Amino acid sequence: MLRLTELKLPLDHGEGAIEAAVRQRLGLRGDALRRAQVARRAWDARKKSDIHLVYSVDIEVADEAALLRRAARDRTLARNLSPTPDATYRHVARAPASGWKRPVVIGTGPCGLMAALILAEMGFRPLILDRGKVVRERTKDTWALWRRSVLTPESNVQFGEGGAGTFSDGKLYSGIKAPEAVSRKVLTEFVTAGAPEEILTVAKPHIGTFRLVTMVESLRAKIESLGGEYRFRTKVVDFAIAVGRDGARRIRGVVTEAGETIETDHVVLAIGHSARDTFQVLHDRGVFIEAKPFSIGVRIEHPQSLIDRARFGDFAGNRILGAADYKLVHHCGNGRSVYSFCMCPGGTVVAATSEEGRVVTNGMSQYSRAERNANAGIVVGITPEQDYPGHPLAGIAFQRHWEERAYAAGGGGYRAPAQRVEDFLAGRPSTALGSVIPSYKPGVTPADLSLCLPDFAVAAIREALPAFGRQIPGFDMADAVMTGVETRTSSPIRIRRGADLQSVNTAGLYPAGEGAGYAGGIYSAAVDGIRIAEAVGRAMAGQDAAA
C-alpha cells in the first residue's frame, strides 16, 4: 500500500472526487487503481479566498513497483508518494505464567486507562485504583458544583473515572509525534469505545464531552473482560518503599485511605496534575520531584461568529469547517509570553476546582460545538526560577494563592470573577457585563481580575490582547469577557523518571501522564500510558532483574 499526500480538493467536492483526483495525479486508468482510502483530511485556511481540503490517501495499485519507479524520476511525486507506514500495534511482552504480583495503576484518566488496557492485553491483570467515583456518579457530582455550588472534593472535574478530560472538548490534537502504531492504537481504541470514526482521519479531531462519558465506560468493560480490576473511591494515601543496604529504593506497595496495603512491585502513577495531596506524600517519602514551568491566566469568551468570520471569511458556517478555532501567541516587552490555551470552539467555560474555597476555570464543548461563545485560556508562561523558587512543591502554593483570590473576588459559592476586556485594559473593575454573556456556571461576579493574577501576568495580558486583536479582528472587543483564574494548565511539578521510565530514585514506580509532567492533554497522556505499560510489561516479563 502507498500513501499519496497533499491532494488538494475544494471544500464542496462530490463523492467520487477523491478517487478521480488520485487517478489524475498519478496518471492511472481503469484497473490500475484498485483502492483509495482517506488516511487524513485537513483544511488549509491560510488564504480566506481559497479555503480547500488537503488529503492523504492510502492507495492500492496494480503495479506498485512501476509507480514507485516513476515517482523516483519525478521529484514532486516522490515527495508526496511513499509506502504507507505500518500502523499495526504489537504488544512488547506477554505475562509469564507465574512469579509476579499484579501491577497497580493509580488513576483512570487517559494515561491510566491506556496503561491499564495494554497491561491487561498483555495478560498482567492490573489493579486500577481511583480516588473518585464511577463516571455516571461523578457526572452528578460535577453538575452539582455547576448548578448548585456544591463541591465534592473527591469527585469533580479533576477526580473520578475518566480523569480530567472527561468533561472537556475532547480535542485530541497535540504537539507530540508518536510512533504511527501507538497513535493508531490510541485512536482505534477510542473509536471502538464510542468516539466518532472521523477521529481516525481528520487533522484536528475532537470527541466532545457527551461521548467521552460512554467511552470511559466501554474501556472499563474491555479492561475488566481482560482480567483488570477497578476500585473506585480508593485514594492512595501512602507508598511502601523498601530501602536496601546500598540505599537503593524500591516500591513494595501502596496504602489506601481505608488503611489497606496492596503489595505490588510495579506502580503506574497516573494521578493527573491536581493530586496535590499525593504529590506531597510522594515528596515526604523521598520520591524525586522537581518544580516545572506552567502557565497562569484567564478564560476569554467571544461570540463564535466573530471567530468564524475572522478565520474563514465568506466560508464561515461551512459544515465541513465547523466552528473555527485559533492559536495565538505574543512575546511581551516584559519578557513573558502570552498564548491561547485549550481553545474550545462553540463551548462553555467550566468550574474546574477540586479544592474548597478556590476557583479555577477551564473549557469544554459538546461534539457539535454549537454553543454561542468561543472560549480559550489566555495564559502567561511562568517558571520556578522566576516565580515560585525554593521548593519542588512551591508551584502548588502559588496556584492555591491565586485560586483563593479568585474565589474571594467571585464573592463565594464558587462564582468566578469576570471582567469585560475594555475594563481590564483600562485598569478599572467591571460593574456590569455587556453583549457577551459568560457561560461559566454557577455564575460570575463582575470584578477586577488584576486582583487575581500576579502583576507581571496582568501587564503581559494587557499587552497581548490588542496584539491578538490585530490577528483576529475583534479579539480585543470591549465586551469580550474574561473569567478567572486559569491555573491548572499543566502540572506544576515533574516526578522525574529515567530512561527505563521508572522514577529516578524509586524502582518500580512509573510516573506517568500529565501529573508527572510527561504529557499535556488527552492524546499525549494516552500515548504516555502506552509507553509506560510497555516499560512495565518488559520489566515484568523478566527483563528487569529486580522484578
Residues that bind ligand FAD (CB under 6 A): 106-112, 129-132, 157, 159-160, 163-165, 167-171, 235-236, 270-272, 275, 278, 342, 350, 352, 362, 364, 513-515, 519-523, 525
- State the nearest-atom distance from the C-beta of 16 to ligand FAD, in Å: 35
Residue 19: alpha-carbon gap to chain centroid: 35
Residue closer to ligand FAD, measured from CB, 169 or 476: 169
Residue closer to ligand FAD, measured from CB, 132 or 322: 132
- State the nearest-atom distance from the C-beta of 546 to ligand FAD, in Å: 25
Residue closer to ligand FAD, measured from CB, 410 or 547: 410
Residue closer to ligand FAD, measured from CB, 7 or 251: 251
H helix or E strand, kind and range, residue 44 = strand 33-44
Q: Residue ranges of the alpha helices (H) in 255-380?
A: 276-284, 304-312
Residue closer to ligand FAD, measured from CB, 423 or 514: 514
Q: What Å distances lie between residue 411 and 36, 180, 427, CA to CA?
A: 59, 49, 20
Q: How far apart are CA 509 and CA 479, in angstroms?
A: 49
- State the nearest-atom distance from the C-beta of 478 to ligand FAD, in Å: 27
Q: How far apart are CA 285 and CA 29, in angstroms?
A: 69
- State the nearest-atom distance from the C-beta of 162 to ligand FAD, in Å: 7
Q: What Å distances lie between residue 284 and 107, 289, 393, CA to CA?
A: 20, 10, 11
Residue closer to ligand FAD, measured from CB, 476 or 534: 534
Residue closer to ligand FAD, measured from CB, 95 or 212: 212
3-state secondary structure of 401: helix
- State the nearest-atom distance from the C-beta of 237 to ligand FAD, in Å: 7
Q: How far apart are CA 415 and CA 435, in angstroms?
A: 20
- State the nearest-atom distance from the C-beta of 531 to ligand FAD, in Å: 12
Q: How far apart are CA 253 and CA 275, in angstroms?
A: 19
- State the nearest-atom distance from the C-beta of 157 to ligand FAD, in Å: 5
Residue closer to ligand FAD, measured from CB, 55 or 167: 167
In the block, residue with C-alpha cell 485511605: 257
Cβ proximity of 107 and 234 under 8 Å: no
- State the nearest-atom distance from the C-beta of 400 to ligand FAD, in Å: 17
3-state secondary structure of 22: helix
In the block, residue with C-alpha cell 477510542: 190
Residue closer to ligand FAD, measured from CB, 264 or 450: 264
Q: Residue ranges of the alpha helices (H) in 122-154?
A: 135-148
Residue closer to ligand FAD, measured from CB, 121 or 161: 161
- State the nearest-atom distance from the C-beta of 523 to ligand FAD, in Å: 6
In the block, residue with C-alpha cell 470527541: 207
- State the nearest-atom distance from the C-beta of 270 to ligand FAD, in Å: 5
Residue 119: left if φ>0, alpha if ψ -120 to 50, beta else—which one? alpha
The helix-helix angle for 209-225 and 180-192 (nearest 10°) equals 100
Full 3-state SS string of 79-120: HHEEECCCCCCCCCCCCCCCCCCCCEEECCCHHHHHHHHHHH
- State the nearest-atom distance from the C-beta of 363 to ligand FAD, in Å: 6
Q: How far apart are CA 215 and CA 205, in angstroms?
A: 15
Torsion, Cα 125 177 86 530, to 10 degrees, reads: 0
Residue closer to ligand FAD, measured from CB, 86 or 284: 284
Q: What is the DSSP letter of 31?
A: G
Q: How far apart are CA 334 and CA 442, in angstroms?
A: 35
